[in-house]
A and B are shown apart, each in its own frame.
Chain A
Amino acid sequence: MSEPNKTLIRGAKVLGGEVRDVLIDGETVVEVGTGIEAGGASVVEAAGRILLPGLVDLHTHLREPGREDSETVLTGTRAAASGGYTAVFAMANTFPVADTAGVVEQVWRLGREHGYCDVRPIGAVTVGLEGRKLAELGAMHDSAAAVTVFSDDGRCVDDAVIMRRALEYVKAFGGVVAQHAQEPRLTEGAQMNEGVVSAELGLGGWPAVAEESIIARDVLLAEHVGSRVHICHLSTAGSVAIVRWAKSRGIDVTAEVTPHHLLLTDELVRTYDPVYKVNPPLRTERDVTALREALADGTIDIVATDHAPHPHEDKDCEWAAAAMGMVGLETALSVVQHTMVDTGLLTWEGVADRMSFAPARIGRAEGHGRPVSAGEPANLTLLDPAYRGTVDPAGFASRSRNTPYEGRELPGRVTHTFLRGRATLMDGKLA
Chain B
Amino acid sequence: MKRHLISAADLTRDDAVLILDTAEEMARVADRPIKKLPTLRGRTVVNLFFEDSTRTRISFEAAEKRLSADVINFAAKGSSVSKGESLKDTAQTLEAMGVDAVVIRHGASGAPYRLATSGWIDAAVVNAGDGTHQHPTQSLLDAFTMRRRLVGRDAGLGRDLAGRRITIVGDILHSRVARSNVQLLHTLGAEVTLVAPPTLLPVGVGHWPCAVSYDLDAVLPKSDAVMMLRVQRERMNAAFFPTEREYSRRYGLDGDRMAKMPEHAIVMHPGPMVRGMEITAEVADSDRCTAVEQVAGGVHTRMAVLYLLLGGNEPAVTHARTEETK
Contacts and interface: CB of A to CB of B under 8 A. Distances in A.
Asked if A pairs with B, the answer is yes
Interface of A: 191, 194-205, 207, 271-273, 313, 316-321
B232 to A, nearest CB: 14
Interface string B100-143: 00000011111101110110000000000011111000000000
B111 A318 contact: yes
A197 B132 CA distance: 13
B86 A202 contact: no
Nearest to B133: A202
A199 to B, nearest CB: 3
Given A272-B114, A320-B131, A199 B86 contact: no
Interface stretch (B149-157, B201-209, B219-227, B310-318): B201-209
Nearest to A194: B203
A200 B106 CA distance: 17
Contacts of A313: 86
B27 to A, nearest CB: 30
B204 A200 contact: yes
Contact of B205 (A199, A271, A272, A318): A199
Nearest to B50: A318
Contact of A196 (B114, B132, B134, B207): B207
Given A202-B134, A272-B113, A318 B106 contact: yes
Contacts of A273: 114
B87 A321 contact: yes
Nearest to B130: A202
A387 to B, nearest CB: 31
Contact of B86 (A191, A196, A271, A317): A317
Closest 10 CB pairs between A and B? A202-B133, A199-B204, A320-B108, A272-B110, A199-B202, A196-B204, A202-B132, A202-B109, A318-B111, A319-B110
Nearest to B113: A272
Interface of B: 86-88, 106-111, 113-115, 117-118, 130-134, 176, 179, 202-205, 207-208
B277 to A, nearest CB: 23
Given A318-B87, A321-B86, A201 B207 contact: no
Contacts of A271: 117
Contacts of A199: 202-205, 207-208
Contacts of B113: 272
Nearest to A188: B238
Given A319-B109, A319-B110, A201 B203 contact: no
Contacts of B109: 191, 201-203, 272, 319-320
A320 B133 contact: no
B26 to A, nearest CB: 29
A316 B133 contact: no
Contacts of B132: 202-204
A364 B132 CA distance: 46
B196 to A, nearest CB: 13
B115 to A, nearest CB: 8
Nearest to A203: B109
A205 B87 CA distance: 23
B208 A317 contact: no
Given A199-B202, A201-B110, 4 more contacts: A197-B204, A202-B130, A202-B133, A317-B88
Nearest to B183: A200
A318 B204 contact: no
A195 B132 CA distance: 15
A381 B88 CA distance: 41
B131 A203 contact: yes
The winner among A195, A197, A200, A203 for most chain B CB atoms within 10 A is A200
A321 B133 CA distance: 16
B110 A320 contact: yes
Contact of B87 (A194, A197, A203, A317): A317
A67 B176 CA distance: 37
Contact of A202 (B118, B176, B208): B176
Q: Pick from A196, A205, A318, A319 the residue with the most CB of B within 10 Å.
A: A318
Question: Which of A204, A272, A273, A316 has the most chain B CB within a 10 Å cutoff?
Answer: A272
Contacts of B202: 198-199, 205
A79 B118 CA distance: 28
B151 to A, nearest CB: 28
Contact of A198 (B115, B117, B204): B204
28 contacts: A191-B109, A195-B203, A196-B204, A196-B207, A199-B202, A200-B204, A200-B208, A202-B131, A202-B133, A203-B132, A203-B133, A205-B202, A272-B109, A272-B110, A272-B117, A313-B86, A316-B118, A317-B86, A318-B108, A318-B110, A318-B111, A318-B115, A319-B108, A319-B109, A319-B110, A319-B111, A320-B107, A321-B108
A185 to B, nearest CB: 10
Nearest to B201: A199
Contacts of B207: 196, 199-200
A164 to B, nearest CB: 28
A200 to B, nearest CB: 7
A200 B202 CA distance: 9
A4 B134 CA distance: 61
A320 B111 contact: yes
A269 to B, nearest CB: 9
A198 B130 CA distance: 14
A203 B176 CA distance: 11
Contacts of B117: 271-272
Nearest to B108: A320
Contacts of A320: 107-111, 131
Contacts of A321: 86-87, 108
B86 A319 contact: no
Contacts of A196: 204, 207
A372 B179 CA distance: 58
Contacts of B107: 320
A320 B133 CA distance: 12
A194 B173 CA distance: 12
